[in-house]
Structure 1
Amino acid sequence: MLSLSHPQPQRQPGAASTALRRTSRWPAATPVSRRRRASHIAASAILLPGGGGGPGDRKLPFTPPPMAPPGQLYQPYHPPPSPLPANFRNLDLTQRLEVLRDRMGLWHEYAPLISALARDGFTPSSIEEATGISGVEQNCLVVASQVRDSLLDEKLAFPPDLLPYFDSLGGPDLLYELRFLNARQRADAARHAVAHKLEPRGVRDLARAMKEFPRRRLEDGWAAFDGASPADCFAFARLRQSREAIDVADRVAELERALKVVETDAARARVELELERARKKAAGEEVEEGEGEGGTAARPGVTVVRLQYGEVADASTVLLLPVVRETDGVAAMESAPRRTKTDADLGLVEVDKAWARWAVVPGWGPVAEAADDAVVIELADGRRLPWRTAEEEPVLVIASRSQKEVVEQGIYVLEKEGRLVVERGRKLAQEGIAAAAAQVLIVVRPPRDEDDGISDEEWD
């Protein structure tokens, strides 16, 4: 153990004996040059006064380095495992290139050799020159091998007896198309591909349909399909393609293909409805445009407005209307206050009872005419409105409680399962409902934060 010595101050000759007694436990002072060299030595511990190495010594806290197993060196860094299978690790470079050139074994067995060569400094062009495998095929083999390895995860419970289906030369092309899906979707899509014996193009369309399905939730009929089912995602994609077809015959053909692959009952009923309408149109029968499942049309039967920031403040006339939530039910809507008296000159309004929630809206004509019995229903999600163009945003539905008789052209508010809903009069008439809770006058959408206009710079 290294002991640090401290330089001793110069003493008078007469005090030599006294200094000797005081420093008897310390080594003698060293020359100046040696002390300078010793100052650069790092000490692993410092001996403090209290003994000469016995039990009384006190040391600074010290943690020993971790010990390696006997016969091995301590290595804090562990390199990543070799990408090569065990049967290829003992081969030299010439032998590895020979395996790739002669395609020895199954494709997923020699595919890791391509990644290993790339790590050793080979480029796709040099690998192609040595093995004859093009750069495109190299990428396909490597990616397909990674997709196949992901199917071996025990959490996915992918049937092992289905893996040999991808061992043929066409297996890489099939698995390569699943690269953009997550692990669960890959396993489901692989099962579907094996069950229906899909070709690479079909697998690509299936993967694209599964990837895009969550983004199409605002389209008509989306809720009827199950996103966890590859077959339903595929059927919904064909349903969308049928709507884009110009020729009616092409639309019918796409819907028939969707009907062959659809899986759930709700999705099958939705495809059959579209197919029936398309066949009627192909036969020359009259079909109401925009009509979808359950009377859902592309265009609403009432005025839908989007508020602008500051519109209420700039309006010459405003209305103060009571607000109820969609979860309050018809009883709360009927108990909302009604206007009893209005002072047009001073803008004073009297109601028959107290109320907590109010909404201030511009004095639009249809609303002003029914202001005495008007009420505002707050919907948390605009997609509950019975038309296809509704978006996911909170909306206010202004309705008149004095108009309850159902006609086919109107839009009405009624209660279903304790919740206020908006339905078309045509659907209510088909269900035999002659009276509703209120008739919708106008639907108000919230202002948008972004500016939809085009600036002068963009025109230039």
Structure 2
Amino acid sequence: MQTLTNMLSLSPSVTANTHTLKPSNPNHLFLITSPSFTNRRHSVKPISAIINPSSFKNPQPPPQQQVYQPFRPPPEPLPSQYSTLDIAGRIDILANRLGLWYQYAPLITSLIREGFSPPTIEETTGITGVEQNRLIVATQVRDSLVQSNADPDLLYAFETSGAELLYEIRLLSTSQRVAAARFLVENNCDGKGGAELARAMKDFPSRRGDKGWESFDYTLPGDCLSFMYYRQGREHKNPSDQRSSALEQALRVAETEKARKVVLEELEGNEEEDKVEDGERVRVPVVRLRIGEVAEASSVVVLPVCGAEEKEVLEAPFECRSEGEFGVVVAEKGWARWVVLPWWEPVVGLIKGGVVVSFPDARVLPWKANRWYKEEAVLVVADRSKREVGADDGFYLVNGYGDDGGLKVERGLTLKEKGFTQSLGTVLLVVRPPKDENEDQLTDEDWE
């Protein structure tokens, strides 16, 4: 009784203490056991409490909860023939593909607004999530062509099976889309061809300064695609089947006479390219890695990375290979630093002895400071299985001479004049870091 008296004498304001509950069974997360239920022998007596009226003077609204809302696409006008359909009717249209693809594609968006998820739509209609996205995006691309007053004959070419092609040119501007769509139709391109064309048109402005760039017309899709093939051809050694094939493709799709002339000169080998002042051919490509280029590459190579020290070059793993169906990279020993590069032509045959030396300063390369110079890091790919200083116009990784010493890259002729017959490896490729802004590339005259 003394306890009950004390409880009734409490202040009108009742304060409750909050305790952290740690249920032993996760399935009983919200199950709280009360003593009144566990012991039925004791009768439950109600406890009277006085409510403070002041608590109702200024009632505070409950805090607004942030409830997750699924994505709802913006409303799109449905074609008139579908505007009165209920949900079951829309599903039936999609399941049986009744109509043209760009007509029933808005039905997918309407179902999503009704709360359907892409997996649910796939289960009910048989249209996969990937195809749903392709249909919706391709319809938007087609609408942009209509708004641009594109030729009706051009639009008619995408009536029955144009979703895949129009989807590939989604990242282009409206004016580019019209030109690209016309090129795709005239050249009877498939989805892969559409993807290559869109990539070439998007990439073309960033290649300003590349050899032959000014000879191709940016406003013409064929010239953009031709320049991409032209650039790929020049990355292969001369002569080679890959080089000839790429240049032949470039010649076939080029639209201007100026572009054809440049490609034809490259194909016939008439132009004097990649030569230095003494007339020797440069055999080491210097490339600027594009952002995302590794992700776009169909094949890549993984190589160990060393600092600019001879000891690291000698200790780096000599062989790396891929094993199994998943192409798991296996090295002969552990190494801390690795780099992934596109499988460019210079490193195709590099099976054993490949190494990448990271230089913090580009001055280790023998190019002319008065013609081109940037204090930027470079990666030098070398083949340690070829250490002999052979070709005068080759480039080699060496150490231990000069005023400052240290690792550097030198021409074979220079090393022979200094009495060197062995090196740490033959240089195959020099990679410059990716840049957001457009920048002129290294020219032929920049090598010493």
TM-score w.r.t. the length of structure 2 is 0.46
TM-score w.r.t. the length of structure 1 is 0.45
